[in-house]
Structure 1
Amino acid sequence: MNMRLDKFLTQSSVGTRKVVRTYIKDGLVKINGQVKMEPSIEIDEYFDVIEYLDKVVEYTEKVYYMFNKPAGCITARRDKINKTVFDFFNNDSSKGIFHVGRLDKDTEGLLLFTNDGEFEHKLMYPEKHVEKTYFFWALGSLEEEDKRKLEQGVYISKGEILTKPAKIKVDKQGVYKDFKHEIYIDKLNNIDSGQYNQAVVSGYLTISEGRKHQVKRMLKSVGCKVVYLKRISIGGLMLDESLEKGQYRFLTDIELEKLFE
């Protein structure tokens, strides 16, 4: 099996595609003992000996995991106070991988892990327009005008540009007392026994950006306070609901294709 030299070095975590091309052109890379200065030259990643700065570069197979993130852990490799998403991985599985994007501490659902930098670039960069869908429960209501605003774009903070057009689908709407058994979180802020008539709404919001707390801020801009949030899909890939919270598994080839549909 043949692979471009620059792709091999990138996938082996030597650097980004741009950086490794510079290394190659500067004569820092050898193939079977010979300096090669053409990034596009093809190599056999299993049989050719590739060296960078006279050290052999070991080829790393690419892995892709689907993880069902529970609420209460942060998207980071380590933290002195909080449990992190990596605490759910065993040592062998977590070696060399990183999370693709992130979810807030109190947000649940689909989170991807890989050791493939190009894969992350394809999914996360704004110009790629990969859609991400979230299910939410919020205090408040969504009228037709509110939905129209979200679909056309809203201002979520002073100095920020308009959000890109989104898709919004209201699932349920009414008062808390009618849905209290469906809003499955231990502590629901701003709700007590005297507030059973508090307006609540659930639905699905699909965005193609990744600004900080974007879903919460978008809904806040139309008067809704998110109290539960779960990412259910990225591109055409749906969260496998058979995965318990905190569990992970390899993505199938078909699922990888669905990500970019």
Structure 2
Amino acid sequence: MKRERLDKVLANMGIGTRKEVKQLVKQGLIEVDGVTATDPGMHVIPEQQEILVDGEPLHYKRYVYFMLNKPPGVISATEDPRHETVVDLLPPEWAAKVHPVGRLDIDTEGLLLLTNDGQLSHSLLSPKKKVDKEYYARIAGRVTPEHADAFAKGVTLDDGYVTMPARLEILSSGEESEIKVTIMEGKFHQVKRMFAAFGLQVVYLKRLRMGTLLLDETLEPGEYRELTDEELASLRKLT
């Protein structure tokens, strides 16, 4: 396992800035394996060594994985000058360290994964992995089996791009239709643009699944939880 500077480990865990950590060391409030630390630059193996901060044990995590039920009106970004972002909904000690895996439009709800594991994030978003995403949507207008056939062949978007084949399941069809759609890409406004190609408008959109990861329906919009070991292991198998 990798050795890291003590002040870096504590800063990454949200204990404080490196400058603040140095003050804690100076005050004798940091212990490593029962010995008071005197050098904030000392190297430690946080997964193996016991680190106490003012008598409280540090539960070290190199990576974190949060499932968020994204509410409407929130931006899928780490910062934005005008809108609340998805990281603003997380604990402050992690908000500055994680990033959303992919994006949901500002008015789109549902499953969003946030992590500081760049390798997993890259793999899940790689077109080569073909990790599928399932959405529930309400559509203004009648969705027909002909639309489902067209989705299965790939839809030409407004910029000429032809999407990969997608699965369209019609739950109800009428003046407002209910559908589920599964895509393997993440083009800008893709689901909305696919329906727009047929003169149909998406009036509500919610992501239900990403690969093997299902939205926990007990999470209210804006709520989050960490992934279970089983959920994380299943995601890693995809990559």
Q: State TM-score, norm by structure 1.
A: 0.67
**Residue 173 (structure 1) aligns with:** 173
**Residue 146 (structure 1) aligns with:** 147
| Separation (CA, whole Å) in 2 of partners of 1:114 and 1:217 | 28
Alignment of structure 1 residues 93-108 onto 2, 5 Å: 93-108=94-109
1:206 aligns with 2:182: yes
In the alignment, residue 203 of structure 2 is paired with which amino acid? V
Q: 1:250 aligns with which of 226, 229, 233?
A: 226
**Residue 27 (structure 1) aligns with:** none
* Runs of 5+ consecutive residues of structure 1 not aligned to the other structure: 4-11, 13-43, 48-58, 175-198
Cα deviation code 1:127-174 (max 9, x no counterpart) = 1100000000010112221110011101012342x1001111011122
**Residue 75 (structure 1) aligns with:** 76
1:222 aligns with 2:198: yes
1:240 aligns with 2:224: no
| Separation (CA, whole Å) in 2 of partners of 1:258 and 1:164 | 24
Deviation of 1:122 (Å): 1.2
Alignment of structure 1 residues 40-119 onto 2, 5 Å: 61-119=62-120
In the alignment, residue 211 of structure 1 is paired with which amino acid? K
Cα deviation code 1:7-44 (max 9, x no counterpart) = xxxxx9xxxxxxxxxxxxxxxxxxxxxxxxxxxxxxx7
| Separation (CA, whole Å) in 1 of partners of 2:145 and 2:61 | 51
* Runs of 5+ consecutive residues of structure 2 not aligned to the other structure: 4-11, 13-44, 49-59
Q: Is 1:141–1:223's contact at 8 Å kept on the other side of the alignment?
A: no
**Secondary structure, aligned partner of 2:232:** helix
Deviation of 1:45 (Å): 7.7
Deviation of 1:62 (Å): 1.0
In the alignment, residue 242 of structure 1 is paired with which amino acid? T
In the alignment, residue 118 of structure 1 is paired with which amino acid? Q
Runs of 4+ that moved beyond 4 A: 44-47
Q: Is 1:166–1:207's contact at 8 Å kept on the other side of the alignment?
A: yes
| Separation (CA, whole Å) in 1 of partners of 2:90 and 2:159 | 39
**Secondary structure, aligned partner of 2:173:** strand
In the alignment, residue 106 of structure 1 is paired with which amino acid? D
**Secondary structure, aligned partner of 1:219:** helix
| Separation (CA, whole Å) in 1 of partners of 2:233 and 2:207 | 19
In the alignment, residue 81 of structure 2 is paired with which amino acid? K
Aligned pair count reads 187
| Separation (CA, whole Å) in 1 of partners of 2:104 and 2:135 | 11
Q: Which range moves more in the overlay, 60-69 or 207-216?
A: 60-69
